[in-house]
Structures are given as C-alpha cells and as structure tokens.
C-alpha cells in the first residue's frame, strides 16, 4: 500500500499542476530555455558544434558532466542516423531521454510497517526539519497518525522548531532536553509510537558533515538503537539535499550512503535555484527513490516527485513551438 494515497484533491491530479511546478522551478527552467531553447531556436545546422553547445548548456544548468555527455552522445547518434532532422526533434528527444533518466526514481513510498519509522538525515540547513514538518502535515491530511521525534538535540532552537511544526499539524512530539543522547530520543519515540499505535514516526536529526566522524557515528548509533527494538527499523533513511548546492549534492549522497546507508532522497529548495538540473545527475548516478521535492518554505511546498511533471516543468513541451 502506498504511504501517500492520492487524495481526490491531490494537486498532482489537477490540470495545470505542471505550470505551477514550472513556476516554482522557473529559475532552472529559465536557465535551460535561455540556453537549450535559445540554441535550438536559432535554427543552426544540427552539427557537432551545436551538439557541443547543447552539452555545455546542460552542464551549466547543473546536469553534471556525466549526464550531459551521455545524453548528448545519444542525441548525436540519432542525428547522425538522420532520426532527428530539426530542432523540434532534438528537443523532443532530449525530453524523452531525460524523462527516462528520472523515471526510475519516481516511487511510491512503501508502507508495509506500522509504525513506519523514518530517519531524516543530511548536512546543516538542508531542510530536514522543514521537510519533516511538511510531511507530517501531508500525512495528517491523508488521515494518518504521525509522531515526531526531536532527534536534533544539539540546539534548543531545533527542538522548538520541530515543536512548532508539530503544533501546526496537531501531532505529538517526543523530545528530551538539549544535549540529550539522540539515540535515547529515538528509542523513546519508537516505544511511544508503538504504544500509541501511530502510523508513521518521523525522526529529525542534527545537521552534519561526513567528515565529522563523531556525528556520523551518532547516526549509526541511532540506527542500531532502533534496530534493537525492531530489526527492520529504521525502514527509511532519507537524505535531505539542498538542491541549490548543485553538483555537491552528488558528493553528499555518495558520502552519506557510504557512512550510514540511505533508502531515498528529498531534494529541497528547488524554488529559487537555477541548479535544478542536479536532480537528473542524482537520478542517473544513484537511481535512489526521490520521494519528494521541496519548492518553497510553506507547508504545501512539498511535492511527491513525479518524473513527467518534473521534466515538463524544467523543459516545457511548448518551449520551441510556443504553443501556449
């Protein structure tokens, strides 16, 4: 059963969602339309120089060298076989190839456990706490019971911040005073989640860098502690990534995956950055589920990752022929 049932009012089912997501992703879309669209609109000959310029345009929008090269090699092959004769055809092929890259990352969140135990991790300021807050609201809206765990015990403000989100969504929060052992908070929270028979336990954690060995060990301890109570817990270890950091996100996934193992990603702050192409780089490199994208600071600004609407948002079908 999917964790997120599509409620009848789900925005992703309404027409116009592409435009709205497109608005939020407009900085990335602009970077691409200025470059990719501009290049193709000028009706240059489909020669090696044009394809190279297109590759550069993708790299500039943070698709990453690897993704840009693979995509453009594929397109160059089709051009040389005369399968793609004009700019519209190249653009259409680009959209298809990019869709195929991100599609495997669109996954319904498996919810085979009760409580489903979710540990949110990532570097400082990536958007972990905010994403948990938005997620709690979303789940509550779907009629699920949620418990939050204030696993960031480093700063009193972090506990308060999560508490605000808990209040807003009318969900309970398990916390201990600042400086407490984060694993002990997680332990108490899992027991409380069981006792209260909640559907989902969302555990916040302090931001950290992979180089901070002590802090990475703390994450491992949280995982071990949870696993002692439930051998399969945590069921999800979600790495929250700030989409605005571009290619650094690729390195962060590598490092966190190696250190603690992750089951999926949330990419935040895709509003207001021209570096949204990084989602394609992440998809191609890791093929991990991208459960959500964050496109703003408010409670409604968390969207399930939908490959088709994402591609349409950053590379709209009407870009070349101006059909709108």
Ligand X SMILES: Nc1nc2c(ncn2[C@@H]2O[C@H](COP(=O)(O)OP(=O)(O)OP(=O)(O)O)[C@@H](O)[C@H]2O)c(=O)[nH]1
Q: Interface with ligand X includes 163 (CB under 6 A)?
A: no
Q: What is the CA radius of gyration of the chain?
A: 21
Round to whole Å and give the CA distance between 226 and 204: 14
Q: Interface with ligand X includes 252 (CB under 6 A)?
A: no
| Binding flags for ligand X, 120-159, as an x/- string (CB under 6 A) | --x-xxxxxxx---------------------x-----x-
* Cβ 158 to Mg ion shortest distance, Å: 5
User: By C-beta, is 129 or 236 nearer to Mg ion?
Assistant: 129
Phi, psi of 64 (to 5 degrees): 90, 150
Q: Are 247 and 64 in contact (CB under 8 A)?
A: yes
User: By C-beta, is 54 or 241 nearer to ligand X?
Assistant: 241
* Cβ 203 to ligand X shortest distance, Å: 12
Give, as one character, the DSSP assignment of residue 315.
S
Q: Interface with Mg ion includes 263 (CB under 5 A)?
A: no
Q: Interface with Mg ion includes 153 (CB under 5 A)?
A: no
Round to whole Å and give the CA distance between 192 and 264: 25
Round to whole Å and give the CA distance between 133 and 135: 5
Round to whole Å and give the CA distance between 57 and 21: 22
Q: Which stretch binds ligand X (CB under 6 A): 41-49, 138-146, 187-195, 294-302?
A: 294-302
Q: Which of 217, 297, 300, 321 binds ligand X (CB under 6 A)?
A: 297
> Residues for the chain: how many in total?
324
Give, as one character, the DSSP assignment of residue 171.
-
User: By C-beta, is 95 or 303 nearer to ligand X?
Assistant: 303
Q: Are 85 and 47 in contact (CB under 8 A)?
A: no
Q: Interface with ligand X includes 276 (CB under 6 A)?
A: no
* Cβ 205 to ligand X shortest distance, Å: 8
Q: Which residues here bind ligand X, judged by CB under 6 A?
A: 122, 124-130, 152, 158, 207, 240, 268-269, 271-272, 294-297, 301
């Amino acid at each position: 059963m999917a964790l997120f049932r599509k409620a009848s009012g789900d925005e992703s089912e309404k027409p116009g969602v592409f435009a709205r997501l497109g608005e939020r992703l407009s900085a990335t879309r602009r970077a691409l339309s200025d470059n990719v669209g501009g290049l193709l609109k000028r009706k240059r000959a489909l020669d090696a120089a044009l394809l190279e310029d297109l590759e550069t345009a993708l790299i500039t929008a943070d698709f990453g060298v690897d993704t840009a090269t693979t995509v453009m090699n594929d397109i160059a092959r089709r051009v040389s076989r005369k399968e793609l004769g004009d700019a519209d055809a190249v653009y259409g092929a680009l959209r298809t190839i990019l869709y195929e890259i991100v599609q495997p990352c669109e996954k319904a969140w498996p919810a085979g456990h009760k409580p489903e135990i979710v540990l949110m991790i990532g570097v400082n300021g990536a958007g972990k706490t905010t994403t948990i807050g938005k997620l709690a609201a979303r789940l509550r809206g779907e009629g699920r019971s949620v418990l939050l765990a204030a696993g960031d015990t480093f700063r009193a403000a972090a506990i308060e911040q999560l508490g605000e989100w808990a209040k807003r969504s009318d969900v309970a929060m398990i916390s201990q005073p600042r400086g407490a052992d984060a694993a002990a908070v997680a332990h108490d929270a899992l027991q409380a989640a069981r006792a209260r028979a909640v559907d989902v336990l969302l555990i916040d954690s302090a931001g950290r860098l992979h180089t901070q060995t002590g802090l990475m060990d703390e994450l491992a301890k949280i995982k071990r502690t949870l696993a002692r109570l439930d051998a399969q817990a945590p069921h999800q270890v979600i790495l929250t990534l700030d989409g605005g950091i571009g290619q650094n996100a690729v390195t962060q996934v590598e490092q966190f995956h190696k250190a603690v193992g992750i089951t999926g990603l949330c990419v935040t702050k895709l509003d207001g950055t021209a570096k949204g192409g990084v989602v394609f780089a992440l998809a191609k490199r890791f093929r991990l589920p991208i459960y959500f994208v964050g496109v703003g600071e408010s409670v409604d600004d968390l969207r399930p990752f939908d490959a088709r609407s994402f591609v349409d948002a950053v590379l709209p079908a009407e870009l070349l022929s101006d059909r709108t």
